[in-house]
Structures are given as C-alpha cells and as structure tokens.
Structure 1
Amino acid sequence: MIDWKAIIIGFFVSLILGTLLSFVIPVIGGFISALVAGIIVGYMVNINLTNGAINSAIMGLLGGIIESIIILILGAAFAGIMGLLFAGLGVIVVLVLTVLHMIVAVVGGVIGSVIRGNVY
C-alpha cells in the first residue's frame, strides 16, 4: 500500500535537506538527505519492511529527479552559460545519481521500518 502522505513528507525533507547539503557537500549531501528522508518514510509507513522499502523507493525517485533538476538550474544560474553547458552534458550523471539516490532511500526505508519494529 502506497502512503502518499509519508512520501510527500519524505520528498520535502529530501528536497530541502538535499538542496542545502548539496552546496556544502556536493555529491554526498544528496545521499545523506535521501537516507534521512528514507528513514522518515520507512518509520511513518508502519506496515512492514517491504512496504517501507517501496514507499522509500518512490520518494527517492521523486526526490532524486527534482533535486537534480534544481541543482542543474542553480548551477546554470550561478555559473552562467558554462554552467548550463556542463549541466547539459551531465544528464547521464544525473540519471545515475537518481538511481543511487533511490537505492540509498530504500536502505533508509528499511532502517526506518526496523526502528519502528514492523519487520514482518
């Protein structure tokens, strides 16, 4: 069962935390935000381990895509045309990072479900 409330809350946590941390710690910041948001979603779902992982995967996918778009836009805004060119060339990197973002969110969702105590 998909819990959209938990996904949306996790998405906004990932979006805000990821955007802020990505400027301080460029690549690792997004993964930290995905892990934290995944833990929150897995904890909130409160059904079982699989459901926490599925909901966190959906949140990680949405968060990874939107966060990557924001980083590309901000990079283009601050670095001008060169930033836009590098951002355009980095589409493959963005896709790979989104998949990795989703995997880290799933790990966080499993951790959150275990913390909540609903493993079965």
Structure 2
Amino acid sequence: MTNWRAVIIGFLVATVLGLFGLVIPGVGQLAAGLLGGFVAGYMAGGGLGRGFWHGLLAGALGGIIGGLLIALLVALSGWAFGPLGGAISGATGFGILLIAVLISLVMALESAIAGAVGGVLNPDRPDYSRRDPY
C-alpha cells in the first residue's frame, strides 16, 4: 500500500530544494531529486522495493502535475478555433500528457534509487493495522 504522506513530503522536499537549486544548475536539481526520493523512501520504510516505489512516485509527481497542467492548457486553448480546433488540440493535449508522464518517470529514476537506499536504512514498516488513539 502506498504511503501518500511520504510521497507528498518527498515531492515537497524535492520541489523546495529544486527552487533553491536553480542557483547551481544541474547539480542543484540532481541533489534535490536525490534528497526528495530519499526522504520518501525513508519515511515509507519497509526495505528496498517499498523505498524504490515511494521514491519513484515522489520524483515523478512534479512531472506528472506539470504535464497535466500543460495538456489542459493546450486542450482548452483549442476551443477558440471551434469544434474542429477543440478536437485537434484535445488530442494534442492528451499526447503531451502521455509524453510528460513517460519523461517524468524516466527522470524520476534517480529519486527511486535514493528512495531504495532510504527504504533500506529504515527497514521497519509502520503497522497501519493498529491505530494508537493517542
């Protein structure tokens, strides 16, 4: 089961550090992706595979959200050209979304590897079946 809290926190860490990483192009983005994936994997715990999965999701989330926004913008802008323009831009927007998802998954591999390291360093998977009322 995916720990979405770990994924979102890892995504936020990568995003905030990525903004500061603009000062050092390339190195800053790489470090931000690695650290965000590590945080997601460590928070999720549970070993190599679970850390890999959560790091991958945290790293890919930004690309997927960005691709979705660009695809919606392209699809909606086509309505200015009538029904045919709407159909063409809708198909184009869908293509842009698919390409953005594929690219973001490939680029998220660094976060996934760092997440796997984080998952190995925190092998204790939290037990969600028992809730502490306090």
TM-score range, shorter chain: 0.5 to 0.7
Q: 1:57 matched to which residue of 2?
A: 56
Deviations 1:15-38 (A, max 9, x none): 1001110x2111221111110011
TM-score by length of 1: 0.65
- The structure number with the bigger radius of gyration is 2
Q: Distance in 2 between matches of 1:36 and 1:63?
A: 14
Q: When the two structures are aligned, how many residues end up with a matched partner?
A: 94
Q: Distance in 2 between matches of 1:31 and 1:60?
A: 11
Deviations 1:66-109 (A, max 9, x none): 589xxxxxxxxxxxxxxxxxxxxxx9xxx697445301101110
Answer whether contact 2:47 2:121 (CA < 8 A) is retained.
no
Q: Distance in 1 between matches of 2:122 and 2:40?
A: 11
Q: Secondary structure at the match of 1:2?
A: coil
TM-score by length of 2: 0.59
Correspondence for 1:108 among 89, 114, 127: 114
Q: Distance in 1 between matches of 2:47 and 2:123?
A: 8
Shift, 1:50, TM fit: 0.8
Q: Distance in 1 between matches of 2:35 and 2:66?
A: 15
Task: Give the structure with the higher percent helix.
Answer: 1
Which runs of 5 or more residues in structure 1 are unaligned?
Answer: 69-90
Answer whether contact 1:15 1:67 (CA < 8 A) is retained.
no
Instruction: Report the aligned-residue RMSD.
Output: 2.6
The one-letter amino acid paired with 2:58 is: M
Which runs of 5 or more residues in structure 2 are unaligned?
Answer: 68-95, 125-134
| Distance change >3 Å, CA 55–CA 108, structure 1 → 2 | same
